[in-house]
């Protein structure tokens, strides 16, 4: 309940290897139907703008996937993951293309 998705959040549901993500629920193996590998979002969980959730990932209650993060692993309850990027600047202008 009360889960917020930032603009352009993307959730994958098919793996490149066509495999299933098998979950342990109360000690028994659960397989998704129809080759789906849904992402699971906990209550009061949030994503930032352009977050990407890989197939089968689980995000816990009160957790946050920050803007621009590509989430490859599960995120436990009450945790936040943010991206840190390195920016590179260079010269640019009409001479670049001979305008």
- Specify the number of domains making up the chain: 1
CATH of the domain at 14: 2.160.10.10
Q: What tens digit of pLDDT does each residue of 86-95 get?
A: 999 998 888 7
Query: Which two structure tokens, joined as six digits, stand for 47?
Result: 């994503």
Residue 14's pLDDT is 77
Q: Is residue 97 part of a domain?
A: no
Q: Cβ(24)–Cβ(30) under 8 Å?
A: yes
Q: What tens digit of pLDDT does each residue of 10-21 get?
A: 998 877 777 777
Other CB atoms within 10 A of residue 39 CB: 19
Residue 35's pLDDT is 64
Rounded to whole angstroms, the Cα distance separating 25 from 55 reads 18
Q: What is the mean pLDDT of the chain?
A: 88
**Nearest in space to 5 (alpha carbons), one of 32, 56, 55, 39:** 39
Mode of pairing for the β-strands spanning 80-81 and 58-59:
unpaired
Which residue segment(s) compose the domain that 9 sits in? 1-80
């Amino acid at each position: 309940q009360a889960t917020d998705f930032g603009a352009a959040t993307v959730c994958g549901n098919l793996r490149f290897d066509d495999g299933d993500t098998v979950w342990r629920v109360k000690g028994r193996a659960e397989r998704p139907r129809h080759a789906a590998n849904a992402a699971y979002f906990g209550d009061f969980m949030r994503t930032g703008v352009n977050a990407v959730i890989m197939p089968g990932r689980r995000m816990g209650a009160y957790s946050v996937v920050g803007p621009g993060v590509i989430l490859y692993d599960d995120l436990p309850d009450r945790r936040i993951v943010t991206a840190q990027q390195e920016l590179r600047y260079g010269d640019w202008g009409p001479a670049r293309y001979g305008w």
